[in-house]
Structure 1
Amino acid sequence: MTFTRLATGKKGEDEAVKELLRRGYHIITRNYRCRFGEIDIIGEKNHQLVFIEVKTRTTLAFGLPQENVNYRKQTKIRRVAQMYLVETRQFHRDISFCVVAVQLNREGKIINIEVIEEAF
């Protein structure tokens, strides 16, 4: 992963957090990691714990950002979410999964940001 790619991902996550806050989400943590992988953002909205995957693109040559959250990625996110619930003893919580698709131009300015709630 090049610095440019890392910077693009960070910018996308930062913009996703701003948009989620604007929509009434409370951000619990960012970049939660365990042995199964990572979840970009864990938040809460309407008493529901939300596991959020952020995908950022500067070009649509490889498809829309959200198209990269395929079945394999969804399965991995579910496993990481399960581990988070075990570690934090929050078995009783209602949960959902969300994808935030961010499109930036080459200068890093937002072209589009889409929050897909109940994505999978």
Structure 2
Amino acid sequence: MNKKQIGDYGEDKACKYLSEKGYDIIERNWRTRTGEIDIISYKDETLVFVEVKTLPNGTYDIIKKELNSQKLKRIIKTSKRFLLNHREYSNSYIRYDVVVIDMPGLEPVYHIKNAFTE
């Protein structure tokens, strides 16, 4: 599988997992000029912006490298653009999660709630 196929596989698996946990999937791959959010979901009055990392050969160091401060700032900036365009969520709580897929040593779908904040 190429990088895109691996990413799509991971996002599909993450969406299935989140749906099974009661999350409504609102958007996938929501993009602006400045960034992209893999999954935007909603549960219990909380709008959740989800970054998916599919790391079949991954380590904790790779996760840290992949989720550097520049990447997190881009996700936050993109989420603010989503909120500007979707006022219906203006009274929702906001959370940023990370879902790690297929990393050795972790569950096949490892959900880190509130993984980072602004």
Q: State the match for 1:12 in structure 2.
A: 10
Q: State the match for 2:84 in structure 1.
A: 86
Quote the offset at 1:91 in angstroms.
3.0
Equivalences for 1:19-30 in 2 at 5 Å?
19-30=17-28
Asked if 2 retains the 8 angstrom alpha-carbon contact of 1:66 and 1:99, the reply is no
Equivalences for 1:39-78 in 2 at 5 Å?
39-60=37-58, 63-64=59-60, 66-67=63-64, 68-78=66-76
Pairwise CA RMSD: 1.8
Once the two structures are superposed, residues 47-86 of structure 1 have per-residue CA deviations (whole angstroms, 9 ceiling, x without a partner) of 11000000011212xx246432122111110000000000
What is the TM-score when the length of structure 1 is the normalising length? 0.84
Q: State the match for 2:113 in structure 1.
A: 117
Provide the rounded CA distance (Å) in 1 between the counterparts of 2:31 and 2:67: 18
1:36 aligns with one of 23, 34, 37: 34
SS at match of 2:57: coil
Equivalences for 1:88-107 in 2 at 5 Å?
88-89=86-87, 90-103=89-102
Provide the rounded CA distance (Å) in 2 between the counterparts of 1:70 and 1:24: 29
Structure 1: gaps spanning 5 or more residues: 106-110
Provide the rounded CA distance (Å) in 2 between the counterparts of 1:74 and 1:13: 18
Amino acid at match of 2:49: F
Identity of aligned residues (%): 36
Quote the offset at 1:104 in angstroms.
6.3
When residues 5 and 28 of structure 1 are mapped into structure 2, their CA distance, relative to the original with a 3 A threshold, is same
The total of aligned residue pairs comes to 111
Amino acid at match of 2:23: Y
Provide the rounded CA distance (Å) in 2 between the counterparts of 1:8 and 1:99: 16
Quote the offset at 1:116 in angstroms.
0.5
What is the TM-score when the length of structure 2 is the normalising length? 0.85
